[in-house]
Structure 1
């Protein structure tokens, strides 16, 4: 042991911790003899001199309990002495990611602009903006399924449907403007660890609009609309399958995610698949006598719905594992927990709707046989199985809903902070699926109490939609969104946009030349 280091520990204890070399930039302080272990410094992964315990450590002699107590007391005294010495930080910020990140935060704060034009703010119009249209279209879908009808309810739903189309076109204009003015942001949006997860939101919004077209337009316009929506259904099938595969492949080949940062938003690339069941259910109900066409649509919808749910089920397990090992997500990420409600809820509403329509379609031709079974009997069996299977999934959706609700309720307290982001629309869209699933269960089992619960949920959803939209407008005015380092395109996880990286490199080159 170097001279000047006094400790009551036996010499063998020093074999458990490797000595840490001091950085060259630090000044020598009285009492800090070279080679002494500075036990006041908190261990941080990446510090030179600290090591991870290995299996060989179990072969070392045990530390007496008295020595551990003395060691802890010595560490507390040294910590107080070091805290009393002003101006010296014994932590190597180059190797400490927390300190290093803190220094970068100060640099970023200094670089943040005070004012930007709307043209410049369009650079931060991310794919997550399509969550607005997902929520608005979901409200229109819920209003169409309300079992207790009154005069004007159709008109209210139609207003939400038309408003959703306007939102959809405006958001596309914002996204296109961003990519035209800042072309490098297109690739960055596909490889960003957060924004890339929201790319499929435009396809989910497109599918929701197609569902609303069937609900509010079929029988009101003409026969040409039936042919159009059938073609659009098959296009939507191709887009949903291709996009979900492409996005997951891009994520898996360009990014590395950690379980500590996992949220149900990882399910988002599968969401285009999850609305194909409800789409097929609504469309097959409007085709009338086109039995073969309706059956093909139901089979396709059920198949794609199953793919989406099973993919989501695998991510469910990762999410539960993350909760067991890392506790709840950070408060700004908790609205995304509601995304876990969607897969089960969409599957319930789609499966029950398709099974019900299959019976209607087959009953129109009593002599029809389905898979070598009399058609009407086969349809009844399938409907019975679908209804009972859906009870499990409906219960699972409610379970995730209450987990998400109570987790977010903790953030209501005054000492907590949840800044607005576009993921707040997760308060709306997955719950619209849960509401339509509740109506489907009530219809399948003819329970009026469940219908009333669905109606209450509908009123709450409309109020929540209005609150979130108001918060969105307020966030735009207060520069909380559409602003550098404020949205889903912010620098995180080591990811930096190309343009910003080039700017930093040019500054370094200019400094070296000077």
Structure 2
């Protein structure tokens, strides 16, 4: 992400395609995440800007998908270099996470736009995103073990990206379950718990390693400073997944062999969500301290700044869900404050990203370092 930038002369669009990398999908994650947050802020009445942001995220995801597919078609050898890159390969996980955000938006905003067709669209997009999340969650670590060079001193929180995609899909499954009937709803909730289990324990082990890396080797360079916020991703999404799956389980399991488990799942969702939320507070505080230190010494802008948005978005959604399910106003207030912080960060990052994209300074691929032109 911060290694040698390879710029290229020639046709503008062709150059953009050649240098297009999957970390652009983080833009759709942050934008779509903010849309879902604004829609849930209690009493704010922000449905219109939330819808506009989700539509923007959907359009951007479609454009980015075309550009990245074109890179694999036109420059397959160069595109394949990402598989051996120890940093950029992690961003393959942003593709299914961005798609899950779009799918969730079809549930939240789609019925008002396309009616009953929104549900099958959301279900199809979620199924694709879940399959991609599983592929990233297993495939990228396998590449780490077999083709890439890593060291503890070079480790950053970007290691979390391919792992977290499955738990983002798990939270999406929880949102879909109430719209399904009978056995399909129960299967969706069970599948959500499996996706959660395929992600959260691994992500927690990475966080333990990250703590060790920071203690032994201190903070990484400023160029990857925003990655400190990525630690909120698995914690916030893990809490959100438990809360939403627990909320959906009683109705999904009613009348079936798992009926007795529905109430237990609801209680587990509340307790597990609270524990993970409290754990996330520590990493949120650390991210704020680290960012303040980086800002004092200079924090260069790059697409890495989108790490300020989506992890905070899912932590905010978990906070608001706790407020709704526990009835405690403190969570509503905290979620509202976090939502406004997220909106401010998104505005800063989006403005600078648009400026960099128009100037062409953000289109570069570290994987092309040393590649023949």
TM-score by shorter chain over 0.5: yes
1:452 to 317, 328, 333: 333
Give the corresponding residue for 2:53. 160
Secondary structure of the residue aligned to 1:129 is helix
Which ranges of structure 2 fall in alignment gaps of 5 or more residues? Answer: none
- Structure with higher helix content: 2
Alpha-carbon shift at residue 478 of structure 1 (Å): 5.5
Show structure 1 runs of 4+ deviating over 6 A.
Answer: 112-116
C-alpha contact 1:341 1:430 (8 A) present in aligned 2: yes
Give the corresponding residue for 1:420. 301
Q: Deviations over 1:309-329 (max 9, x none)?
A: 011112112111101110111
Separation of aligned partners in 2, 1:177 and 1:277: 30
1:393 counterpart = 2:276:
yes
Alpha-carbon shift at residue 159 of structure 1 (Å): 0.8
Counterparts of 1:8-23 in structure 2, within 5 Å, are none
Comparing both chains, which one has the higher relative contact order based on Cα–Cα distances under 8 Å and sequence gaps of 6 or more? Answer: 2
Cα gap change, 1:381 to 1:113, in 2 (>3 Å)? closer
Q: Deviations over 1:194-241 (max 9, x none)?
A: 211111211111111111111212476444443443344333332221
C-alpha contact 2:159 2:206 (8 A) present in aligned 1: yes
2:262 to 379, 383, 405: 379
C-alpha contact 1:355 1:383 (8 A) present in aligned 2: yes
Separation of aligned partners in 1, 2:118 and 2:7: 50
Separation of aligned partners in 2, 1:329 and 1:182: 32
Q: TM-score, normalised by structure 2?
A: 0.91
Larger Rg: 1
1:440 counterpart = 2:321:
yes
Give the corresponding residue for 1:342. 233
1:474 counterpart = 2:367:
no
C-alpha contact 1:339 1:430 (8 A) present in aligned 2: yes
Alpha-carbon shift at residue 164 of structure 1 (Å): 0.7
Q: Deviations over 1:479-498 (max 9, x none)?
A: 54224xxx54464xxxx43x
1:120 to 5, 10, 15: 15
C-alpha contact 2:306 2:349 (8 A) present in aligned 1: yes
Separation of aligned partners in 2, 1:113 and 1:278: 39
1:357 counterpart = 2:248:
yes
Secondary structure of the residue aligned to 1:481 is coil
Alpha-carbon shift at residue 174 of structure 1 (Å): 2.6
Give the corresponding residue for 2:127. 234
Q: Deviations over 1:98-144 (max 9, x none)?
A: xxxxxxx9xx89xx879665233442221111110111111112123
Separation of aligned partners in 1, 2:129 and 2:269: 24
Q: TM-score, normalised by structure 1?
A: 0.67
| Matched residues, number | 370
CA RMSD of aligned residues (A): 2.4
Separation of aligned partners in 2, 1:175 and 1:234: 20
Cα gap change, 1:187 to 1:359, in 2 (>3 Å)? same
Cα gap change, 1:238 to 1:113, in 2 (>3 Å)? closer
Q: Deviations over 1:262-316 (max 9, x none)?
A: 00101111122021221012111233xx132111101101111121101111211
